[in-house]
């Protein structure tokens, strides 16, 4: 299955907010014809209206794929509109947090091919990472198709079991917010050492973004990169002695942070 298959049979996008919009932008850039896309969205943006896709009109009977990108609380009213496409050849891909595959099988039909995906917000700049898992009715070709579509906004990884999705939520799903907060804290700490707020923020943002890019591009592990820049008895070692403290530093704090997010994901999925 490829973009030609999607173009021929049609793609339905349920919800075109930030995540849905980022994905649609990626697909159109890759050559998916706007005429093969049908979007259902209660508040279409001016950008969406200008793309040439179908908006809130008639849907194809058996589209190749339906991508569900509405907020979980809107799911109850949204899913019945798709039920007629269930139990067939249409692949449903959900990027809605906290909604398990079983909920889609219940709403759409137990034999519907379904892929659950967890993207994250850097998808907005094409730098996301998405974890995916298919149900028993999603063929290998359909999971490949879901991966291809989701690669429009960044990297894609495949999970072994759906229950790993809670841990993914705690790490990459919620993770960007942890990094944003780290930038805030790093800037505030710079201010406390006498830097002007705007300068402290510029230094913090560029440092975190640059270190992330370096960590991804380098052959060495992040641990080795850290060792490389830590001179004995130098400034970095002095800072790391505080940050790496096993009782009061980042290791226990990060474990608790990810566990709290993963636990909440498990609660929401009940």
Residues comprising the binding site for NADP(+)?
14-19, 69-72
CA nearest 126: which of 16, 199, 18? 18
Indicate the annotated binding residues.
14-19, 56, 69-72
SS3 track for 109-125: CCCCCEEEEECCHHHHH
Cβ proximity of 243 and 250 under 8 Å: yes
Instruction: Write b or e for each residue in 181-219: b if 16 or more Cβ atoms lie within 10 A of its Cβ, otherwise e.
Output: eebeebbeebeeeebeeeebbeebeeebeeeeeeeeeee
Indicate the annotated binding residues for NADPH.
56
DSSP-derived secondary structure letter, 5: H
How many whole angstroms separate alpha carbon 192 and alpha carbon 179? 20
DSSP-derived secondary structure letter, 173: I
SS3 content of the chain, % helix, strand, coil (to 5): 55, 15, 30
- The arrangement of strands across the sheet holding 91-94 comes to 54-55, 37-40, 11-14, 65-68, 91-94, 114-118, 128-134, 154-158
């Amino acid at each position: 299955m490829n973009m030609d298959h999607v173009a021929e049979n049609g793609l339905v996008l349920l919800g075109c907010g930030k995540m849905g919009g980022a994905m649609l932008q990626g697909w159109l850039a890759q050559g998916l014809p706007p005429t093969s896309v049908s979007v259902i969205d209660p508040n279409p943006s001016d950008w969406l209206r200008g793309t040439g896709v179908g908006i809130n009109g008639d849907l194809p009977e058996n589209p190749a794929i339906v991508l569900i990108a509405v907020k979980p609380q809107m799911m109850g009213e949204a899913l019945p509109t798709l039920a007629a496409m269930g139990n067939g050849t249409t692949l449903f891909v959900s990027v809605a947090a906290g909604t398990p595959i079983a909920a889609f099988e219940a709403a759409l039909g137990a034999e519907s091919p379904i892929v659950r995906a967890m993207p994250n917000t850097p998808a907005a700049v094409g730098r996301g990472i998405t974890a995916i898992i298919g149900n028993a009715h999603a063929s290998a070709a359909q999971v490949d198709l879901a991966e291809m579509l989701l690669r429009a906004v960044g990297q894609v990884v495949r999970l072994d079991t759906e229950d790993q999705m809670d841990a993914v939520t705690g790490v990459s799903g919620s993770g960007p917010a942890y990094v944003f907060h780290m930038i805030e804290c790093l800037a505030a700490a710079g201010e406390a050492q006498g830097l002007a707020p705007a300068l402290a923020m510029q230094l913090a943002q560029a440092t975190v973004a640059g270190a992330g890019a370096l960590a991804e591009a380098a052959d060495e592990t992040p641990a080795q990169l850290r060792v490389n820049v830590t001179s004995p008895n130098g400034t970095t070692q002095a800072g790391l002695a505080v940050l790496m403290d096993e009782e009061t530093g980042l290791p226990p704090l990060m474990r608790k942070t990810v566990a709290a997010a993963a636990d909440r994901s498990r609660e929401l999925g009940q």
